[in-house]
Each structure stands twice: as structure tokens, then as C-alpha cells.
Amino acid sequence: MRKSKFGIGCLGVVVIIVIIVVIGYNFFKGAYNKFVTLDEQVNGSWAQVENVLQRRMDLIPNLVETVKGYAAHERETLEAVINARSKATQVQVNAGELANNPELLNQYMEAQNGLSSALSRLMVVVEQYPDLKANQNFIRLQDELAGTENRIAVERRRFNETVQAYNQHIRVFPNNILAGLFNFDKRAYFEAPAEAEQAPKVDFSTSG
């Protein structure tokens, strides 16, 4: 009788251990998969940011050439745009480096924000040339640039929202412990530095 009770007791302990292991496994599996899902969402959102930024860089050569045809003596402003585009092109960040190389991401953001500032200054100069503003090619490029700037703002906001959701998830308990074990680190936001926020604000809508 004692042996029977002992055997039942051992079986009960084994069952409890198995249940604990299964629950623990499912918990860790679920937590890890959630980390991966949010991490991939950040990477996917970053890819969209890069797409719209690349679209802007593709527009700039034609824009500069068009402006040069009417305002060739605005050499300093045009060169500033060309140099800013070159710098932005040189600094590249892939999705895997968003967490592992925050310094490179900062350089990338500064380069892109520098390009935004240079373009804003160029559009201020354009206001002085009515003939240029009436040029159909310039109007088309201006419309495309305005649309691209809007897309950049939208994708930047979406990226930051995705990063915020990810960062919040890995910081709450007990996720913060598991995130450390699984090497899921905090992601940086795509923010403009103070000097970029003070850049000239330009209405990209066409005017006669």
C-alpha cells in the first residue's frame, strides 16, 4: 500500500514537472516569437523609410539642373544641395545595423536631415525666379518632391511608432529579462536634430 502511494506521489510530481516545463516552454516560445515579430516590423518599416528617401535623392539631379538653367549664379546654394546629396548617398544603414550600430544610424539621420535643410534653402531661393516657377518641368519636379517629402514624413512617423511599440514591449517585466537573454536591444528613433528643426519651412505648393 505504501509503495502504491509512493508511486502515485512520484507520478504526480512528474506530471507537475511536465506541466511546468510545457507551460514554461510555451511562455518562452511565445515571448521570443513576439520579439521577432516586432523586430521584423521595425526592419520592414525602415525599408519603407529608405525607399522614400531614395526616391527623393533620385529627383535631386534633375531638380538641380532645372534650377541651374534659370539661376546658375546661385552656385553656393546649388552646390550645398549637391554636396548634401553626396553625403547622404555615402552613409547607408541596413536593417540589421539599426540596433547594432546606433552611431552609424545617427550619421545616416544627420546626412538625410542635412539634405532636407539644403533643399529647403534651395526652394527659398527659387521664390526669387518667377520664370523658373512657371517652368513646366520644374512644376512637375516640385510636385514630385512635395509628394516625396510628405511620404518621408509619413514613413518616418510610422517607423518611430513601430520602434516605440518594440521598445515598450522589451522594457516591461518580465519581457525586459527575456529580451536581455535573447539579445533584443532597444532601437533608436529617426529624429531630426535641433538644428534641422530650425531649417527654413517651405510651402512646396506651386504658385505663379
pLDDT of amino acid 145: 92
**145-198 residue pLDDT tens:** 999 999 999 999 999 999 999 999 999 988 898 888 888 888 888 875 444 444
Three-state secondary structure readout of 4-59: HHHHHHHHHHHHHHHHHHHHHHHHHHHHHHHHHHHHHHHHHHHHHHHHHHHHHHHH
Is residue 141 scored above 70 in pLDDT?
yes
Domain borders along the chain are 37-197
pLDDT of amino acid 198: 42
Three-state secondary structure readout of 125-161: HHCCCHHHHHCHHHHHHHHHHHHHHHHHHHHHHHHHH
pLDDT of amino acid 157: 92
Q: In terms of residues, how long is the chain?
A: 208
Pairwise pLDDT comparison (21 vs 33), residue with the higher score: 33
pLDDT of amino acid 187: 87
**30-45 residue pLDDT tens:** 888 999 999 999 999 9
Predicted TM-score of the model (pTM):
0.78
In CATH, what number does 37-197 get? 1.20.1440.20
pLDDT of amino acid 87: 92
- Using DSSP's 3-state secondary structure scheme, residue 1 falls into coil
